[in-house]
Structure 1
Amino acid sequence: MDLFAQRITMRISSGHASRRMRALTARFMLVLACVIPIKPSFGADTEAALRDTYQSLAPQLANNPFHRPLHLDSTEAPDALKGDIYAVVDYPFATVNGALNDPAKGPENWCDVLILHLNIKYCHATTTGNGSGGSTLNVNLGKKVEEKLSSTFRVTFDYRMDVARADYFRVDLSADKGPMSTKDYHIVLEAVAIDSTHTFIHLTYSYGYGTAGRLAMKTYLATIGSDKVGFSKSADSGGYIGGVRGLVERNTMRYYLAIDAYLASLSLPAGQRLDARLNRWFDATEAYPRQLHEVEKDDYIQMKHHEYQRQQTAQ
């Protein structure tokens, strides 16, 4: 057990966690709430396999509580969490592919997607210096309010185009490790065309954690996160699930809504896109207030304008 885990255990057993320890735990949970990890199977690998998934999910896409063609799954393991969203989006495959799977502009575009999330405080793409032509995304995670970058966590993601075909793509944003025993971060998106104006996407959000992460998560869910829920219904109570599955479901949904808001803005003049994305993302989250409401709209838009300006330069 590492030092951080020992400190949490001592505070829990003593029954009176210090203010500093509660702050550390809360900050650490922002990492678990925002990023992604483990290495399960992440995609179909072929157009045919993803199309088969689309056909098998047709009933769920047509009839669900989200009021949009969307299906959400989540899984919990002893040392990892994973959320999956399958959805039909109202954009041609060429639009989705060009925006999120482009070796030149894709990493920068992903930063414009990620910054819409409340807890993403900064994202800046750079080209790796190893001659491979690859890119990295330096992402800072923090609170749901404005704060200095020095108060946030930095996680560096590798941007990798796993599969790039004329009819199918899969892109993976991954980080081997994060703070306080988190590891194997992944945001994975795969997509296939349905028709000339619609695309079927599969978004995976996952992460792994060690002893420190497990103890911090337990503390968070017993305190400030105790009343938060996800979207799936509990087999025992009939209500919404809570706990770590609720956590991963909320943030998988936030990332999906960010992708949708970003794609919707591309048809507008460049100067109008940021405000369109911010308004669309916030309004979409407010359709699920029990799970996703955190701040007021004016506060969100003002905060994100400042953060967007900050991420235009390397920090």
Structure 2
Amino acid sequence: MKRLLPTGAGCVQWLGAVVLLALLLAAPAFAEDAEALKARHAALTEQLGDNPLQRPLHLESRQTDDALQGDIYAVIEQPYAVVGTALQGSAHWCDILILHLNVKSCRVTSAPAGEVLHLHIGRKFEQALADAYPFEFAYRVATARPDFLQVQLEAQEGPLGTSRYRIKLEVVALDDRRSFLHLSYSYAYGVAARVATQGYLATLGRNKVGFSIVARNAEGQPVYIGGMRGVIERNTMRYYLAIEAYLSALVEPPAMRLEKRLDLWHSGVEQYPAQLHELERDQYLAIKRKEIQRQQADAASE
């Protein structure tokens, strides 16, 4: 049965999910080897060491007439032996992606061409999977070396004429205790997606901002970027925080890691309330616990 797109207020609410999916995938040029990514780390020394984000992190965003792209570069205070292993497994990626408040479910299946991640993207509130939007992303580890990792997820088509979804990640060992990560997202869009996005930004998203500072007001306070680049930057940060939460929780006993990931993700987004605040902690935890329980029950019944 063909899925009908929502109209009116429902379309505006659903747009957030479309934007999220858009931002799940981006693709700038990637390093071909460990040395190239290390060179990028060296080039970003100043930005990583002193920035308003209060993290060793650099965020970029770009918009063209028919595409959006976001990139994040970050130093991870964990050895590559931990980070590289943790970010290779497809099931690990479901553990990461489900932390985002708009991801309602994630599961992995095997196909002749490789593994596939099945996501449902929906609203930030509790929602039946039948009311969310299913997407499939081909997953592959492009490179896995003792000091360098590349992971790619790809989907060729999306809603409202969007296409060429990509999520790419690369990690390199910096030394015995640190790794350098590059996460990139992109998608292509047409007229329908542009109109829907404009509707969202004129209503529910009218007060939303990103992280890039484009000016200073009369009091010297930063003026942050808005529009679609603001949307990309918010979601790029949300997914970086999901990766960070997943990696940080690995020190806990296995039975405690899920709750630790959820707690760390919410704490992370609340460090940037102007950009990322959506739900109170209790709301977020209650919704995510139900979604993850549903996901686990569905997996057990297969």
Pairwise same-fold verdict (TM > 0.5): yes
- Structure 1 partner of 2:262: 278
Deviation at 1:37, TM superposition (A): 7.2
1:241 aligns with 2:225: yes
Encode CA deviations 1:191-216: one digit per residue, 9 max, x unaligned: 00111111000011212111110110
State the Cα distance separating 1:36 from its structure 2 match.
3.7
- Quote the Cα distance in structure 1 between the aligned partners of 2:210 and 2:26: 23
Question: Does the alignment pair 1:109 with 2:89?
Answer: no
Alpha-carbon offset, residue 235 of structure 1? 4.4
Where does residue 173 of structure 1 map in the other structure? Answer: 153
What letter is aligned with 1:60?
Q
Question: What is the rounded CA distance, in whole Å, between the counterparts of 1:293 and 1:117 in structure 2?
Answer: 12
Q: Distance in 1 between matches of 2:25 and 2:87?
A: 22
The code of the aligned residue for 1:154 comes to P
Distance 2:25 2:256 in 1: 37
CA distance in 1, matches of 2:81, 2:266: 26
Counterpart residue identity of residue 262, structure 1: Y
Aligned partner of residue 97 in structure 1, secondary structure:
helix
The DSSP-based 3-state class of the residue aligned with 1:83 is strand
Equivalent residue number for residue 85 of structure 2: 98
Aligned to 2:13: 26
Instruction: Give 1:29 shift.
Output: 3.2
TM-score (norm 2): 0.92
Report if aligned partners of 2:118, 2:135 keep a CA contact under 8 Å in 1.
yes
Secondary structure in structure 1 of the residue aligned to 2:225: coil
Q: Which of the numbers 199, 210, 215 marks the counterpart of 1:219?
A: 199
Once the 2 structures are TM-superposed, how far is the Cα of residue 152 of structure 1 from its aligned partner?
Answer: 0.5
Distance 1:140 1:184 in 2: 18
Match of 2:184 among 193, 198, 204: 204
Partner of 2:102: 119
1:135 maps to what in 2? Answer: 115
Matching of residue 53 in structure 1 with residue 40 in structure 2: yes
Q: Deviations over 1:113-152 (max 9, x none)?
A: 0000010000001111x2x4x1000001001111100111
- SS at 2:205 equivalent: coil
Counterpart of 1:75 in structure 2 is 62
Distance 1:303 1:135, change over 3 A: same
Query: Aligned to 1:66, which of 42, 47, 53?
Result: 53
Indicate conservation of the 8 Å contact 1:37/1:82, yes or no: no
Alignment equivalent of 1:269, drawn from 244, 253, 256: 253
Residue 157 (structure 1) aligns with: 137
* TM-score using structure 1 length: 0.88
8 Å contact kept, 2:26–2:71: no
Deviations 1:67-89 (A, max 9, x none): 11000000011111111110001
CA-atom RMSD, angstroms? 1.9
Equivalences for residues 9-24 of structure 1 within 5 A: 20-24=7-11
Question: For 2:186 and 2:123, how far apart are their aligned partners in 1?
Answer: 20
Is contact 1:137–1:157 with CA below 8 Å preserved after alignment? yes
Pairing 1:302–2:286 present: yes
Q: 1:205-228, CA deviations, whole angstroms, 9 ceiling, x for partnerless residues?
A: 212111110110011111111100
Specify the code of the residue in structure 2 equivalent to 1:111.
C
In 1: Cα distance, 2:197 partner to 2:31 partner: 31
Aligned to 1:231, the other structure's residue is in SS state coil
Q: By how many angstroms is 1:28 displaced? A: 3.0
Question: What residue identity is the alignment partner of 1:127?
Answer: S
Q: Kindly indicate whether the alpha-carbon contact (under 8 Å) linking 2:215 and 2:224 is maintained by their aligned counterparts in 1.
A: no
Aligned counterparts of 1:53 and 1:29: Cα–Cα separation in 2: 32
- 8 A contact 2:25–2:167 mirrored in 1: no
CA contact (8 A) 1:34 1:251 kept: no
Partner Cα separation in structure 1 for residue 37 and residue 15 of structure 2: 35
Counterpart residue type for residue 167 of structure 1? D
Q: Deviations over 1:238-297 (max 9, x none)?
A: 500000000000000000000000011112111100110000010011000000000100
Cα shift at 1:20 = 3.8
| Distance in 1 between residues matched to 2:177 and 2:25, nearest whole Å | 33
Q: Which amino acid aligns with 1:221?
A: L
Q: How has the CA–CA distance of structure 1 residues 170 and 90 changed in structure 2, closer, same or farther, with 3 Å as cutoff?
A: same
Q: Look up the equivalent residue of 1:187 and give its one-letter code.
A: I
Say whether 1:254 aligns with 2:238. yes
